[in-house]
């Protein structure tokens, strides 16, 4: 058997490593033996830039297994830190993966007292030349062990690995401009409301504003059913026809918002071109869809110019970039163009901006603020997703909050930790933060959804964030007016704990 060597560098310092410190490196060139790695398989060959690289191969078979190598990572250096995991990868004939998480693996196994997490690099399958792949992630504080895993999982083919690095990261925004004054786009102590729409129902709108006491609504311009709409939206003529009808409903919402004294956030929920596999917005792959996005915002800005009830425009719901095609704009660049398009019509108009992917709090670690004033930043909170979405599309049920979820102990402090990237971003730049969506499925066991929502709202209020619950009188799975019984599709005859929770906070609202 051929002996394989590699270099592994671990920081010898005790305590936290400084920003950009490399805590692990494997470049397969220096004189450390592969026996330092557990697992089996692979050989050293001439690879990236004529240096040595590790190649792992798995033969075609009816049910390919896994060929993996593992190396421990110094946990004391990464616990509670933002890190970057990166590698160079090449592939030849790697077959389709049976599940999205299978395939070419460059993965961390993060172990906790009660379970594990498995964050990994987004590596494609098929055949491709050397690529640099990376991602940033926050490592929870409660970690007790970390292991790097590389190889092939349940796929046949060949994959080469080189220059695998784990480093302590600085957020992409580090060193940006701190605003002297926080811009919220309104003069109220707090906006507390709910997501509403896309179809206008006057009685529901009035109920949320007058009976419940919400002082704002996130009005979604959405094409339903959403799954089909992701394909329909590829046809821009059909997209225009849909938008015609959606804006007519939005007109009614704006008119009634002015009458009732509530603020409206107009949210473009369905992007031109729709979404491809993995939720990737097609507008990052075709210029005609980027051009359409700017055209849409010019159209909407002209339609609602001067309407005081329109608090702001949410540029795109839960953007997902994927790989940006050559010559196209990334999300930050495209968002800048969209803001400039809106403000050419109505100077100074507030806008709401969500980071990718999916508007998650963690997206702020890799997002820089726009070089524009008057921007409100936003994220959506559904973590842990396996809890908030249990029973949705056949996902497993039975998860209780607070409790052990996905191998981690989730409680109020763990929620706070998940929101920390947004909090750090807000404090670094003195910008307003808006929670555009948060929810938990109503049938979470033991009235868990109530406890989850209560903890989140208390954190939002502590941080001074405006927020909107998802959603009001849309699908009954998110409804606070329905009981915890999934079989009962009728509203509860008495207010649920979740309804009373929202109403108690709405009662504190002031009107514009």
Q: What whole-number percentage of the chain has pLDDT above 70?
A: 95
Residue 470 and residue 330 share a domain: yes
pLDDT in tens, 132-163: 999 888 898 888 999 999 999 999 999 999 99
Listed residues 133, 168, 203: the one ending a domain: 168
| 379 contacts 433 by C-beta, under 8 angstroms | yes
Residue 196 and residue 153 share a domain: no
| 29 contacts 52 by C-beta, under 8 angstroms | yes
| 342 contacts 375 by C-beta, under 8 angstroms | no
In terms of pLDDT, which residue wins out, 8 or 474? Answer: 474
CA dist., res. 54 & res. 149, Å (int): 13
Average pLDDT of 206-233?
95
Kindly tell me if the per-residue pLDDT of 16 is higher than 90: no
Tell me which residue has tokens 């005609």.
Answer: 288
Q: Please enumerate in sequence order all residues whose Cβ is within 8 A of that of 329, keeping only pairs 6 or more positions apart, or say none.
A: 290, 337
Average pLDDT of 65-88?
93
Residue 294 and residue 158 share a domain: no
Residue 70 CB coordination number (10 Å): 14
Which H or E run includes 135?
Answer: strand 126-138
Q: 499 lies in a domain?
A: no
- CATH number of the domain enclosing 467: 3.20.20.80
Task: Give the three-state DSSP class for 410.
Answer: strand
CA separation (Å) from 188 to 107, 185, 511? 45, 9, 7
Q: What whole-number percentage of the chain has pLDDT above 90?
A: 78
Q: 181 lies in a domain?
A: no
**What is the chain's mean pLDDT, rounded?**
92
DSSP 8-class letter at 251: H
| 4 contacts 26 by C-beta, under 8 angstroms | no
Q: What is the pLDDT, as a whole number, of residue 30?
A: 66
Kindly tell me if the per-residue pLDDT of 366 is higher than 90: no
Nearest to 53 by CA among 173, 158, 210: 158
Band of the pLDDT at 5, cuts 50, 70, 90? Answer: very low
Taking CB atoms within 8 Å and a gap of at least 24, the contacts of 403-406 are 403/448, 404/114, 404/115, 406/115, 406/117
Residue 13 and residue 90 share a domain: yes
Burial 464-477 (b: 16+ CB within 10 A, else e): ebbbbbbbbbbeeb
Structural domain count of the chain: 2
Taking CB atoms within 8 Å and a gap of at least 24, the contacts of 448-454 are 448/387, 448/399, 448/400, 448/401, 448/403, 449/401, 449/484, 449/498, 450/496, 450/497, 450/498, 450/501, 451/401, 451/402, 452/387, 452/388, 452/401, 452/415, 453/498, 453/501, 453/502, 454/501
Kindly tell me if the per-residue pLDDT of 288 is higher than 80: yes
Q: What is the pLDDT, as a whole number, of residue 145?
A: 95
List 89's β-bridge partners, or say none.
131, 161
Residue 224 and residue 137 share a domain: no
Q: 496 lies in a domain?
A: no
Q: 495 lies in a domain?
A: no
pLDDT in tens, 158-217: 999 999 999 998 776 766 778 889 999 999 999 999 999 889 999 999 999 999 999 999
Task: Give the three-state DSSP class for 5.
Answer: strand
Q: 174 lies in a domain?
A: no
Give the best-scoring range by mean pLDDT among 100-104, 120-124, 348-352.
348-352
CA dist., res. 508 & res. 206, Å (int): 18
Average pLDDT of 413-417?
93
Tell me which residue has tokens 């799954």.
Answer: 227
Average pLDDT of 482-500?
97
CA dist., res. 455 & res. 383, Å (int): 12
Q: What is the pLDDT, as a whole number, of residue 12?
A: 31
Of the CA atoms within 13 Å of residue 70, those in its CB half-sphere come to 11
Residue 256 and residue 401 share a domain: yes
| 265 contacts 216 by C-beta, under 8 angstroms | yes
Residue 428 and residue 349 share a domain: yes
CA dist., res. 5 & res. 375, Å (int): 51
Residue 115 and residue 53 share a domain: yes
Kindly tell me if the per-residue pLDDT of 15 is higher than 60: no
Residue 231 and residue 92 share a domain: no
Q: 384 lies in a domain?
A: yes
Range of the domain at 153: 5-168
Torsion of CA 387, 391, 393, 396, to 10 degrees: 70
Q: Please enumerate in sequence order all residues whose Cβ is within 8 A of that of 295, keeping only pairs 6 or more positions apart, or say none.
A: none
DSSP 8-class letter at 222: -
Q: 505 lies in a domain?
A: no
Residue 276 CB coordination number (10 Å): 16
- CATH number of the domain enclosing 30: 2.60.120.260
Residue 460 and residue 406 share a domain: yes
Average pLDDT of 419-433?
94
Kindly tell me if the per-residue pLDDT of 1 is higher than 60: no
Using CB atoms within 10 A of its CB, is residue 43 exposed (0-12), middle (13-18) or buried (19+)? middle
Band of the pLDDT at 512, cuts 50, 70, 90? Answer: confident
Residue 246 and residue 158 share a domain: no
Kindly tell me if the per-residue pLDDT of 4 is higher than 60: no
| 114 contacts 205 by C-beta, under 8 angstroms | no
Band of the pLDDT at 226, cuts 50, 70, 90? Answer: confident
Kindly tell me if the per-residue pLDDT of 35 is higher than 70: yes
In terms of pLDDT, which residue wins out, 151 or 27? Answer: 151
Residue 86 and residue 207 share a domain: no
CA dist., res. 339 & res. 328, Å (int): 17
Q: Does pTM surpass 0.85?
A: no
Q: 186 lies in a domain?
A: no
**Pick from 6-20, 145-159, 186-200, 233-247: least confident:** 6-20
Using CB atoms within 10 A of its CB, is residue 148 exposed (0-12), middle (13-18) or buried (19+)? buried
């Amino acid at each position: 058997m051929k002996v394989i060597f590699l270099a592994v560098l671990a920081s010898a310092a005790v305590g936290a490593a400084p920003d950009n410190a490399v805590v692990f490196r494997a470049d397969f060139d220096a004189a450390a033996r592969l026996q330092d790695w557990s697992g089996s398989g692979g050989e050293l060959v001439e690879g990236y830039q004529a240096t040595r690289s590790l190649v792992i191969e798995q033969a075609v078979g009816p049910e390919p297994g896994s060929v993996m190598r593992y190396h421990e990572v110094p946990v004391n250096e990464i616990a509670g830190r933002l890190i970057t995991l990166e590698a160079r990868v090449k592939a030849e004939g790697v077959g389709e993966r049976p599940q999205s998480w299978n395939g070419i693996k460059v993965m961390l196994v993060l172990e906790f007292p009660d379970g594990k997490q498995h964050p990994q690099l987004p590596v494609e399958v098929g055949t491709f030349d050397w690529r640099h792949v990376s991602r940033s992630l926050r490592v929870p504080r409660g970690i007790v062990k970390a292991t790097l895993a590389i190889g092939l999982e349940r796929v046949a083919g060949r994959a080469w690995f080189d220059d695998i690095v784990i480093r302590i990261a600085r957020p992409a925004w580090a060193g940006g401009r701190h605003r002297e004054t926080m811009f919220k786009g309104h003069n109220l102590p707090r906006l507390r409301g709910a997501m509403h729409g896309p179809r206008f129902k006057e009685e529901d709108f009035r109920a949320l504003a007058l009976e419940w006491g919400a002082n704002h609504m996130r009005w979604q311009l959405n094409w339903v059913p959403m799954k089909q709409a992701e394909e329909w939206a590829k046809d821009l003529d059909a997209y225009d026809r849909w938008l015609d009808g959606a804006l007519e409903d939005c007109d009614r919402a704006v008119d009634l918002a002015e009458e009732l004294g509530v603020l409206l956030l107009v949210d473009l929920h369905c992007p031109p071109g729709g979404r491809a596999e993995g939720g990737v917005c097609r507008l990052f792959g075709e210029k005609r869809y980027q051009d359409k996005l700017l055209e849409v915002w010019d159209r909407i800005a002209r339609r609602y110019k001067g309407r005081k009830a329109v608090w702001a425009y949410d540029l795109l719901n839960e953007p997902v970039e994927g790989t940006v095609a050559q010559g196209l704009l990334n999300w930050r660049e495209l968002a800048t163009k969209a803001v400039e398009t809106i403000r050419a019509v109505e100077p100074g108009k507030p806008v709401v901006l969500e980071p990718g992917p999916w508007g998650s709090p963690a997206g702020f670690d890799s997002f820089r603020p726009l070089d524009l004033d008057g921007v409100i930043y936003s994220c959506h909170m559904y973590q842990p997703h396996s809890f908030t979405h249990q029973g949705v599309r056949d996902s497993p049920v039975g998860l209780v909050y607070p409790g052990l979820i996905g191998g981690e102990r989730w409680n109020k402090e763990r929620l706070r930790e998940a929101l920390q990237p947004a909090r750090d971003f807000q404090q670094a730049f003195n910008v307003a933060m808006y929670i555009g969506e948060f929810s938990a499925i109503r049938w979470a066991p033991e009235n868990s959804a109530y406890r989850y929502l209560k903890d989140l709202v208390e954190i939002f209020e502590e941080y001074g964030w405006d927020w909107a619950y998802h959603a009001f009188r849309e699908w009954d799975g998110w409804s606070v007016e329905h009981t915890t019984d999934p079989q009962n599709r009728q509203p509860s005859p008495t207010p649920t704990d979740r309804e009373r929770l929202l109403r108690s906070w709405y009662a504190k609202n002031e009107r514009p």
